[in-house]
Copies of this chain bind each other. A is one copy, B any other.
């Protein structure tokens, strides 16, 4: 089944991620295109050749000793902040954020970035996430820079503030979430210690 380029490329990516031991030739047959098209696709998607993929699978598990990866302060860097209105942060995805097997960023890092941004945008000493509805729209891989933009959508009846966060890589949405934040004081009055 011939599909368009974008469609094919995203499926291709998934196919290779799911089955990294497949050759270009086999892929060409699956997608019913020439082997050159597959290679162009790989080039555009920055997917290395078969042998490199095999090698990376092998080496990743080879250094199994160096894997602990704690999640201390994986919040990203806040580069813009207007309290109770909006905030922006950047998180560069590095090796410590991804699954060793496929280089895809683990969901909780994207969540952590968004969630901590939602906390930061609240002009209050005590802001906690009450609940959230989130969506991972596209996988993020090592080397990509995730830009999270939070905007305060409004306040619910109870002392909850709703914050919408959208995260992008190259203007493409990778994550979005709506966070209902619990806050102790309303608005900007509370500044006791």
Chain A residues close to B by CB (< 8 Å): 1-2, 14, 17-19, 21, 30-32, 51, 54-55, 57-62, 64-65, 67-75, 96, 99-102, 104, 106-109, 111-112, 115-116, 119, 125-126, 128-136, 139, 184-185, 191-193
Chain B residues near A67 (CB-CB < 8 A): 70, 72-73
Copies in the complex: 2
Q: Which of chain B's residues has its CB closest to A62's CB?
A: B57
Note all chain B residues with C-beta closer than 8 A to A136: 128-131
A-B contacts besides A2-B193, A108-B115, 15 pairs, CB < 8 Å: A1-B192, A18-B184, A21-B55, A32-B193, A51-B51, A54-B54, A54-B58, A55-B58, A71-B109, A72-B96, A101-B125, A106-B115, A107-B132, A111-B115, A130-B136
